[in-house]
């Protein structure tokens, strides 16, 4: 009775703030390959930060703006598996080596030079539950123990056997793919719902970008996640946790396409201040600013585009040409009034990422703002275009990017797209290809005026203000967060739930934790049905607690 009352209270609380959540059509289940960030986070959470994960991961295709969505269609082919196998052996070997075994293996074998059923069973029962995001079946547990025993016997070392068996677990699809498992929904005849374990994984990867912790798995096993109150209790706990910052950092890193920093290069002759350390710091500066303002202080998401507050480090101080008294680490910093560094879209990391190695690019920056911050697709450039009019940057007639692009836009096949990109990108032209401020280009003053969807401005601060007022910006965050959580492209049938979430986001002051709570507590987020081409006899055993 108490549970029902709590559930009703929760529902009332949700509905009291606005319209009722719309019912949406159930989507097919997703099978998402762990992203690199997820893999790293899971290993750190299960085995500790000391486990070194060296080497590269095979890339995941970005789809609809997110690696998290591309992960649902990216395969594990030969080269990817080979890398996972190498990573698995490295991780397993570290977990069982002499330095870590006493902490990470919760038992000691009777004889370290022989197989030990009991200790191997204990280890895999505990570890497997976290890695597979569910309890292991008896058959799975027996297989892991048998593998450990075979290795221990062959190589006369319990820990080597344990390591080889653990490496097998780390390359199993149950670990590498986060797969939605379904069960019949007892409340609706013929309908399905995510199993509690799958629900736990979905909410955990949304909020923390990692495997469910023990408390969440226990809640799943007890059936708590099938009740509104039980789910809310877990979601509230997770949103209140410091781990939310880690999860949101991963989300924004994905949404902003910051994986591209891994291959960002700036010409050291042209931009001597923007060395390799500055590249990584420039990314960190933006992510720290985002987390400080959206998670730590729970501010208005839109303020990210008008903020002057950030953090600064000594190497970045060289890029921004501001003094930083502390040689190591970060210090809080606020750009002074009049400075054009206003909003994350003007910070060195953003403008440098969307530039060429040796010069700025108004087009790339405008495209990034449209596609990444506003979720608007800019069409690919047409083929067969003669760019002769653009000429080179030393052309005495076309000294600035604005003049070159204006000449280029006289081509009607180019004009349409450049009209929506250039007035954004040209406003950021006071920042060169590495984000350093400049007044002129080739001796000609840079005109930074522009407009965004009818709102005119004269400089980067004006662009930031226009972005903050543009409805597409918060709507884009809603769309991306929802897609990030489900791992799929939002369908047209899901438009009502996105609209509903946008409205709630607005009413809640555009606070990201509240948006996360709305998503994680919505029915739609867990609405899944078997794939249309799945066997009609679809098993419902896969994810039962």
Partner 1 sequence: MSKLSRRSALKGLVNGTAVTVALPFLDCFLGGNGTALASGAPIPVRFGTWFWGLGFTPGRGVNLAKTGKDLAFLEECQALVPYKDQLSYFSNFNTPLDGKATTVHYTGWVAARTGSVPNTGGDLPAPTIDVLVGDHFGAGTRFRSIDLSCTGNPRDSYTGRNTGSRNAGEVSPLGMYTKVFGPEFADPNAATFTPDPNVMVRQSVLSAVGEQRTDLVKQLGAADKARLDEYFTSVRQLEQRLELQLQPPPKAEACRIAKSPGEQPMGTELESVLVNHELMSNMLAMAVACNQTRVFNMLYSQALSSLHRRGEAFIHHTLTHEEPLDPKLGYQAEVAWYNLRSFEAMATFIKAFASIKEGDGTLLDNTLIYANSDTNFAKLHALDGIPVFLIGKAGGKVKTGYHIPGGGDPISRIGLTVQHAMGMEVDKWGTQSMQTSKPIAELLV
Is residue 538 within the footprint of partner 1 (CB under 8 A)?
yes
Q: Do 525 and 486 touch, CB atoms closer than 8 A?
A: yes
DSSP β-ladder status, 192-194 and 182-184: antiparallel
Residue from the set 8, 75, 331, 493 that interacts with partner 1 by CB under 8 A: 75
Residue 488's Cβ-count burial label (10 Å; 0-12, 13-18, 19+) is buried
Is residue 58 within the footprint of partner 1 (CB under 8 A)?
yes
Q: Do 504 and 518 touch, CB atoms closer than 8 A?
A: yes
Residue from the set 385, 415, 456, 471 that interacts with partner 1 by CB under 8 A: 385
Is residue 182 within the footprint of partner 1 (CB under 8 A)?
yes
Name the segment binding partner 1 (CB under 8 A); options: 76-84, 111-119, 287-295, 501-509: 76-84
Residue from the set 77, 187, 410, 492 that interacts with partner 1 by CB under 8 A: 77
Is residue 73 within the footprint of partner 1 (CB under 8 A)?
yes
User: How many Å apart are CA 138 and CA 59, to the nearest integer?
Assistant: 34
> CA Rg, the chain, in Å?
26
Which phi and psi (to 5°) does residue 322 adopt?
-125, 145
User: Cβ 412 to partner 1, closest distance in Å?
Assistant: 17
- Looking at beta carbons only, is 237 or 359 nearer to partner 1? 359
Q: Which residue's structure tokens are 């085995």?
A: 47
Is residue 542 within the footprint of partner 1 (CB under 8 A)?
yes
**Of residues 114-153, those binding partner 1 (CB under 8 A):** 140, 143, 146-147, 150-151
CA 509 to chain centre: 22
Beta strands in 343-439 (DSSP E): none
User: Cβ 157 to partner 1, closest distance in Å?
Assistant: 10
- Looking at beta carbons only, is 328 or 380 nearer to partner 1? 380
Q: What angle do CA 465, 468, 470 make, to 5 degrees?
A: 110
Residue from the set 241, 376, 391, 499 that interacts with partner 1 by CB under 8 A: 391
**Of residues 394-453, those binding partner 1 (CB under 8 A):** 395, 404, 433
- Looking at beta carbons only, is 155 or 322 nearer to partner 1? 155
Residue from the set 16, 189, 397, 532 that interacts with partner 1 by CB under 8 A: 532
User: Cβ 74 to partner 1, closest distance in Å?
Assistant: 5
Residue from the set 114, 177, 406, 469 that interacts with partner 1 by CB under 8 A: 177
Name the segment binding partner 1 (CB under 8 A); options: 24-32, 209-217, 229-237, 461-469: 24-32
Is residue 272 within the footprint of partner 1 (CB under 8 A)?
no
User: How many Å apart are CA 307 and CA 461, to the nearest integer?
Assistant: 9
Kindly state the helix (H) or strand (E) to which residue 153 belongs, with its residue range.
Answer: helix 138-155
Is residue 265 within the footprint of partner 1 (CB under 8 A)?
yes
Q: What angle do CA 222, 32, 177 make, to 5 degrees?
A: 70
Residue from the set 181, 448, 490, 522 that interacts with partner 1 by CB under 8 A: 181
Is residue 263 within the footprint of partner 1 (CB under 8 A)?
yes
User: Cβ 254 to partner 1, closest distance in Å?
Assistant: 16
DSSP code per residue over 95-117: HHSTTTHHHHSSS--S-TTS--H
User: Cβ 221 to partner 1, closest distance in Å?
Assistant: 18
In the shown chain, the binding pattern of residues 487 to 506 toward partner 1, with x for contact by CB under 8 A and - for none, equals --------------------
Residue from the set 31, 112, 257, 311 that interacts with partner 1 by CB under 8 A: 31
Return the percent helix, strand and coil in the chain, to nearest 5: 55, 5, 40
Q: Do 66 and 484 touch, CB atoms closer than 8 A?
A: yes
Residue from the set 8, 15, 19, 56 that interacts with partner 1 by CB under 8 A: 56
Residue from the set 15, 61, 297, 326 that interacts with partner 1 by CB under 8 A: 61
User: How many Å apart are CA 452 and CA 450, to the nearest integer?
Assistant: 7
For partner 1, how many residues bind (rule: CB under 8 A)?
A: 80
> What residues pair up with 194 in beta bridges, in sequence order?
182
Residue 66: DSSP 8-state: B
Is residue 173 within the footprint of partner 1 (CB under 8 A)?
yes
Is residue 527 within the footprint of partner 1 (CB under 8 A)?
no
User: Cβ 424 to partner 1, closest distance in Å?
Assistant: 20
- Looking at beta carbons only, is 73 or 227 nearer to partner 1? 73
**Of residues 342-371, those binding partner 1 (CB under 8 A):** 356-359
Nearest to 428 by CA among 409, 452, 407, 449: 449
Cβ-proximal residues to 338 (8 Å cutoff; 6+ apart), any chain: none
User: Cβ 96 to partner 1, closest distance in Å?
Assistant: 13
Nearest to 29 by CA among 404, 425, 540, 471: 540
Is residue 378 within the footprint of partner 1 (CB under 8 A)?
no
Please list, residue by residue across 323-358, b when 16 or more beta carbons sit within 10 angstroms of its beta carbon and e when fewer do: ebeeeeebeebebeeeebbbbbbbbbbbbbbbbeee
């Amino acid at each position: 009775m108490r549970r029902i009352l709590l559930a009703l209270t929760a529902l009332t609380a949700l509905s009291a703030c606005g319209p009722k959540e719309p019912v949406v059509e159930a989507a097919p289940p997703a099978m998402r390959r762990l992203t690199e960030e997820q893999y790293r986070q899971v290993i750190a959470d299960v085995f500790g930060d000391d486990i070194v994960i060296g080497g590269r991961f095979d890339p995941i295709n970005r789809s609809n703006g997110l690696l998290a969505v591309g992960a649902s269609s990216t395969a594990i082919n030969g080269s990817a598996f080979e890398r996972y196998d190498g990573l698995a052996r490295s991780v397993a070997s570290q977990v069982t080596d002499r330095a870590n075994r006493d902490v990470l293996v919760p038992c000691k074998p009777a004889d370290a030079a022989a197989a030990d059923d009991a200790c191997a069973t204990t280890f895999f029962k505990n570890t497997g539950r976290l890695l597979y995001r569910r309890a292991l079946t008896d058959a799975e547990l027996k297989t892991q123990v048998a593998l450990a025993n075979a290795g221990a016997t062959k190589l006369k070392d319990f820990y080597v056997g344990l390591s080889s068996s653990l490496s097998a677990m780390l390359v199993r699809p149950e670990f590498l793919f986060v797969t939605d498992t379904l069960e019949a929904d007892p409340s609706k005849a013929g309908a399905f719902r995510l199993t509690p374990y799958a629900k736990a994984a979905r909410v955990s990867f949304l909020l923390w970008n990692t495997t469910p912790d023990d408390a969440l798995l226990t809640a799943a096993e007890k059936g708590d996640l099938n009740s509104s109150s039980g789910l809310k209790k877990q979601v509230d706990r997770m949103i209140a946790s410091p781990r939310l910052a880690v999860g949101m950092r991963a989300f924004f890193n994905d949404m902003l396409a910051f994986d591209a920093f891994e291959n960002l290069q700036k010409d050291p002759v042209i931009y001597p201040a923007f060395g390799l350390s500055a590249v990584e710091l420039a990314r960190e500066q933006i992510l720290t600013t985002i987390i400080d303002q959206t998670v730590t202080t729970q501010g208005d998401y839109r303020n990210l585009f008008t903020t002057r507050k950030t953090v600064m480090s000594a190497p970045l101080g060289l890029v921004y040409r501001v003094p930083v008294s502390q040689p190591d680490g970060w210090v809080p910093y606020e750009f002074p009034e009049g400075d054009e560094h206003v909003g994350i879209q003007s910070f060195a990391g953003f403008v440098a990422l969307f530039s060429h190695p040796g010069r700025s690019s108004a087009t790339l920056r405008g495209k990034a703002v449209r596609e990444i911050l506003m979720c608007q697709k800019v069409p690919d450039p047409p083929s067969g275009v003669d760019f002769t009019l653009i000429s080179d940057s030393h052309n005495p007639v076309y000294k600035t990017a604005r003049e070159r692009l204006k000449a280029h836009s006289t081509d009607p096949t180019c004009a349409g797209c450049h009209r929506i990109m250039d007035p954004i990108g040209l406003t950021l032209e006071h920042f060169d290809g590495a984000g350093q401020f400049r007044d002129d280009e080739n001796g000609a003053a840079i005109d930074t005026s522009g407009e965004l969807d009818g709102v005119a401005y004269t400089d980067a601060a004006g662009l930031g203000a226009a972005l903050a007022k543009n409805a597409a910006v918060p709507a884009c965050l809603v769309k991306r967060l929802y897609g990030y959580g489900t791992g799929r492209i939002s369908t047209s049938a899901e438009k009502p739930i996105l609209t509903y979430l946008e409205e709630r986001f607005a009413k809640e002051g555009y606070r990201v934790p509240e948006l996360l709570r709305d998503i994680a507590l919505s029915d739609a987020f867990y609405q899944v049905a078997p794939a249309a081409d799945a066997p009609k006899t679809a098993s419902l055993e896969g994810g039962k607690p």
